């Protein structure tokens, strides 16, 4: 058999007229043959020639195998399990596996693919490395609050180093869905509500995962998901339908995907939702017209979990066969877990309902990725146990996690300098269901992260002030039981200050975790109210994967520190902030509403024809609540204070081909060094279609010593003024603009200019 294959190869190679080098590697005593193209020339062409050399030998069944992705039975992330995946690998009927990890486990699966299948095509291993593999970083929404692109890239880099050391090639991240509805649990997995910030973060994450070279042993392929508009699920209910104008799609929801693509993102995942009546997984407009024809995406498209099958439930396909045909026709290259391609593609080709060329194209894209990863050169390069041991939870990775974690913390309130705490504090009462909970602090969807590796808030504080920290849980976050109140209140009465860790359980955000009520669950608010009655300074440490409606806390707590779910180093990072070893610098990447009734509430809204006027009944407002958020997008305090001068522009008119510079002086007016995130927003005052009241266009993190001033500037170019006009052309229209600068989206400091 092997000899016959050798002959077949040589014949093919001669026919191709290219000079290939045939070499063989010995894996566990078995010979397998791979081809490397002659060095030199265009690298992409070399790869494609190698892909062709493999495809030439493949049967239709083997090709369909490459288009099939199954979960292992290990770490299942969806409703269906195929128990036969190992036999499928052996039969060459599956080309990629997810939810299988660790160097040894994946080496064995790879061995079966490489040594026991006819062609020995290596498997691709995918996994949801969402905010870390073993060293867990803050949940993505939390990390976005750092507004620190370098730190975010570093987090993805470390995650890739660990994942790649544990046998993985591919992460189903970043999630780049814009989310404007905090009821949607998956808001936790993205970068928040803003398209500009979200696009920059998407790029940082892709760069971090993929590095400069996909073939390096410490990088993984990224997957931009969920394409597209998944974050706009109706009523914030997961998997729900989406219907929106093409303008909104292009303006708000698509740019982070394009940004990910521009950063080289190797794969895209279709979303579960339908868009304008057509499920994303069969949506030619999204997959073919935009992704392939307009954006020229060279990578491959995978579906989300069973989403080909789900087109039957959507009412778009009568049966699985039709769903498979529709997905392929729209441009889906790989089927995750539906087994729809596996079951029907062969027959669909035979009956002439799909063309084999469509299959060839998908297989070419998938094999190209395997070549780029270097899997044909060494299928085991990602299965090195010594490297795995060295990399996972290394001191350097833990330090990186702590660094990102403290940068992700947002100080929402700090009355009368309650924080930072004095290290000489006599007694500190740490209370709350989340204070010592490893499982919650690690956050939802924490890869292979182990809750036992988390240093909790309680431990983090004890590391600083030892047994002067006393602790009581008080209550659970999801149980209606107040039995622990008395002990907690007693403890609080004897202490100098209370740190109350409350919020959501980790499972309350993420996939399939929408909430209709975004207040504090369980008896937690009541516990806070009772503790407030003690008269002791009440410091709230919030942990949550979405904005929460917390008006009572905003009014009555002495300090509020938003910590999201910070991962492995949560405790030390929060302690760094509470004791002032790190001056908080995080900014909200998403608006915090006063009540769920205001939702969706986001800063870049339109003005309406009747903008809110408190003295005029017939204007756009509620009877029972202000229009304003509890905390606006971009908001976050520091232990120091900053003042802004009046913004200026270098010229008041801008030519289309030129630029103007807006600038402002920032001064640190407090007593500590600190970082201010200077935010620039633009409003187009009159357009051929109406424009939002402001849009973030630039920001800069500026570190200033006490008393130090700095001139901060923003060079405005035509690109910053463009939008989809009434004919959906992306361009800037001459006219008047207003540029705002300030510490958050509610700033009124602005200056005008005119585009000629």
Interface with ligand NOJ (CB under 6 A):
77-78, 128, 172, 225, 304-305, 511
CA distance 678 to 676: 6
Q: Which of 288, 265, 266, 285 shows the shortest CA–CA distance to 274?
A: 285
Helices 340-350 and 320-330, axial angle in degrees (round to 10): 80
Nearest CA to 753 among 656, 645, 608, 634?
Answer: 656
Measured from the Cβ of residue 628, the count of other Cβ atoms closer than 10 Å reads 14
Q: Smallest gap, in angstroms, from Cβ of residue 484 to ligand NOJ? A: 36
Q: Report whether 100 contacts 106 (CB < 8 A).
A: yes
Please tell me the distance from the alpha carbon of residue 123 to that of residue 543, in angstroms, as a whole number: 39
Per DSSP bridges, beta strands 223-227 and 267-270 are: parallel
Q: How far is the CB of 305 from ligand NOJ (least distance, A)?
A: 4
Crossing angle of helices 43-55/2-16, nearest 10°?
A: 130
Question: Is the Cβ of residue 191 or residue 489 nearer to ligand NOJ in the bound state?
Answer: 191
**Structural tokens at position 648:** 């200026």
Q: Which residues pair with 372 in a beta bridge?
A: none
Instruction: List, in order, residues 6 or more apart from 249 with CB less than 8 Å away.
Output: 228, 229, 275
**Closest separation between CB of residue 625 and ligand NOJ, Å?**
33
Total Cβ atoms within 10 A of residue 692: 18
- Judged by phi (left if over 0) then psi (alpha if -120 to 50, else beta), residue 488 lies in alpha
Q: Is 743 exposed, middle or buried (0-12, 13-18, 19+ CB in 10 A)?
A: buried
Tokens 């207040």 correspond to: 519
- The values of phi and psi at residue 490, to 5°, are -55, -50
For residues 365 and 411, give the distance between their C-alpha atoms in angstroms, rounded to a whole number.
46
Task: List, in order, residues 6 or more apart from 82 with CB less than 8 Å away.
Answer: 70, 71, 88, 337, 339
Tokens 């998956």 belong to which residue?
Answer: 186
Shortest CB 64 distance to ligand NOJ, Å: 21
Q: For ligand NOJ, which is the closer residue by CB, 53 or 71?
A: 71
> What are the residues whose beta carbons fall under 8 Å from the beta carbon of 3, sequence distance 6 or more?
none
Of 117 and 307, CB closest to ligand NOJ: 307
User: What kind and span of H or E run contains 247?
Assistant: helix 246-248
The encoded tokens of residue 613 equal 């006027």
**How far apart are CB 271 and ligand NOJ at their closest, in Å?**
8
Between the CA of residue 338 and those of 227, 445, 527, what are the distances in Å? 18, 22, 46
In angstroms, give the least distance from the CB of 281 to ligand NOJ: 12
Residue closer to ligand NOJ (CB basis): 77 or 709: 77
Question: Would you say 280 or 290 has its CB closer to ligand NOJ?
Answer: 280
> Is 304 designated active site?
yes
Catalytic residue selected from 304, 333, 384, 403: 304
**100: three-class secondary structure by DSSP:** coil
Smallest distance, ligand NOJ to C-beta of residue 68, A: 15
Q: What is the 3-state secondary structure (H, E, C) of 172-221?
A: CCCECCCCCCCCCHHHHHCCCCCHHHHHHHHHHHHHHHHCCCCCCCCCCE
Choose between 310 and 684: whose C-beta lies nearer to ligand NOJ.
310
How far are the Cα atoms of 408, 498, 502, 587, 703 from residue 146, in angstroms, in the given order?
4, 26, 21, 6, 14
Tokens read off for 701: 């993190």
For ligand NOJ, the closer of residues 513 and 561 by Cβ is 513
- Cβ 685 to ligand NOJ shortest distance, Å: 40
Sign of the dihedral defined by the CA atoms of residues 396, 397, 400, 401, in that order: negative
Q: Which is nearer to ligand NOJ, 155 or 271 (CB)?
A: 271
Measured from the CB atom, the residue of 78 and 580 that comes closer to ligand NOJ is 78
Sheet strands (E) in 487-537: 497-503
- For 690, residues 6+ apart whose C-beta sits below 8 A from its C-beta are 606, 607
* Tokens representing residue 739 in the block: 């540029």
Q: Token digits for 313?
A: 């439930």
Taking the least distance from each CB to ligand NOJ, the nearer of 225 and 402 is 225
- Comparing CB distances to ligand NOJ, the nearer of 175 and 375 is 175
Beta bridge partners of 71: 98
DSSP single-letter state for residue 288: I
Catalytically annotated residues: 304
């Amino acid at each position: 058999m092997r000899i016959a294959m050798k002959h077949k190869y040589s014949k093919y190679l001669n026919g191709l007229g290219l000079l290939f080098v045939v070499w063989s590697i010995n894996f566990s005593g078995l010979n397998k043959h791979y081809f490397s193209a002659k060095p030199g020339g265009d690298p992409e062409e070399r790869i494609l020639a190698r892909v062709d050399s493999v495809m030439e030998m493949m049967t239709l069944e083997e090709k369909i195998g490459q288009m099939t992705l199954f979960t292992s039975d290990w770490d299942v992330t969806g409703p269906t399990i195929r128990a036969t995946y190992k036999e499928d690998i052996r039969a060459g009927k599956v080309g990629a596996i997810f939810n299988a990890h660790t160097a040894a486990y994946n080496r064995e699966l790879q061995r079966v693919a490489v040594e026991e299948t006819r062609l020995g095509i290596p498997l691709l291993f995918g996994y949801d490395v969402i905010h870390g593999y073993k060293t867990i970083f803050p949940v993505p929404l939390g990390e976005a609050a750092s507004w620190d692109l370098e730190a975010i890239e570093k987090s993805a880099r470390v995650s890739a180093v660990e994942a790649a050391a544990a046998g993985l090639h591919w992460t189903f991240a970043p999630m780049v869905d814009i989310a404007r509805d905090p009821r949607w649990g998956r808001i936790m997995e993205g970068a928040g509500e803003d398209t500009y910030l979200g696009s920059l973060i998407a790029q940082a994450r892709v760069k971090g995962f993929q590095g400069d070279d996909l073939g390096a042993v410490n990088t993984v392929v990224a997957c931009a998901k969920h394409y597209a508009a998944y974050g706009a699920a109706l009523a914030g209910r997961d998997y729900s339908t989406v219907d929106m104008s093409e303008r909104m799609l292009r303006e708000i929801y698509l740019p982070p995907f394009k940004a990910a693509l521009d950063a080289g993102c190797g794969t895209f995942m279709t979303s579960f939702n339908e868009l304008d009546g057509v499920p994303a997984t069969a949506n030619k407009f999204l997959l073919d017209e935009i992704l392939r024809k307009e954006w020229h995406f060279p990578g491959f498209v995978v579906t989300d979990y069973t989403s080909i099958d789900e087109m039957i439930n959507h009412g778009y396909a009568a049966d699985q066969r039709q769903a498979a045909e529709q997905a392929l026709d729209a441009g889906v290259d790989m089927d995750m877990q539906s087994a729809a391609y596996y079951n029907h593609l062969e027959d669909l080709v035979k009956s002439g309902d799909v063309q084999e060329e469509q299959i060839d194209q998908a297989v070419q894209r998938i094999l190209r990725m395997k070549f780029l990863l270097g899997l044909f050169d060494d299928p085991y390069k990602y299965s090195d146990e010594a490297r795995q041991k060295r990399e996972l939870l290394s001191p350097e990775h833990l330090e990186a996690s702590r660094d990102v974690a403290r940068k992700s913390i947002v100080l929402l309130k700090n009355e009368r300098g309650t924080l930072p705490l004095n290290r000489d504090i006599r007694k500190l009462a740490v209370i709350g269901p989340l204070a010592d909970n490893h499982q919650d602090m690690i956050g939802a969807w924490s890869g292979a992260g182990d809750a036992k590796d988390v240093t909790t808030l309680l431990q983090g504080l004890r590391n600083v002030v030892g047994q002067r920290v006393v602790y009581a849980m008080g209550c659970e976050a999801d149980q209606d039981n107040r039995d622990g109140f008395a002990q907690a209140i007693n403890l609080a009465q004897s202490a100098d200050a209370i740190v109350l860790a409350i919020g959501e359980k980790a499972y309350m955000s993420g996939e399939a975790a929408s909430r209709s009520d975004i207040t504090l669950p369980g008896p937690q608010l009541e516990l806070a109210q009772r503790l407030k009655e003690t008269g002791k300074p009440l410091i709230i440490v919030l942990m949550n994967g979405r904005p929460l409606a917390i008006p009572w806390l905003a009014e009555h707590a002495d300090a509020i520190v938003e910590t999201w779910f910070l991962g492995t180093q949560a405790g030390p990072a929060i302690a760094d902030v509470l004791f002032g070893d790190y001056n908080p610098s995080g900014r909200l990447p998403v608006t915090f509403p006063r009540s769920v009734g205001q939702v969706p509430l986001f800063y870049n809204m339109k003005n309406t024809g009747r903008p809110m006027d408190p003295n005029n009944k017939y204007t756009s407002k509620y009877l029972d609540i202000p229009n304003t958020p509890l905390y606006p997008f971009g908001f976050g305090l520091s232990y120091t204070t900053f003042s802004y001068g009046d913004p200026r522009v270098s010229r008041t008119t801008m030519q289309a081909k030129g630029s103007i510079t807006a600038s402002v002086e920032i001064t640190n007016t407090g007593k500590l060094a600190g970082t201010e995130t200077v935010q620039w927003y633009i409003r187009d005052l009159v357009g051929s279609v109406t424009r939002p009241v402001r849009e973030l266009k630039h920001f800069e993190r500026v570190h200033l010593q006490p008393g130090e001033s700095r001139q901060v500037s923003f060079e405005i170019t035509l690109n910053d003024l463009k939008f989809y006009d009434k004919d959906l052309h992306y361009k800037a229209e001459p006219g008047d603009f207003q540029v705002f600068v300030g510490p958050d989206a509610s700033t009124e400091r602005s200056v005008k200019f005119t585009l000629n």
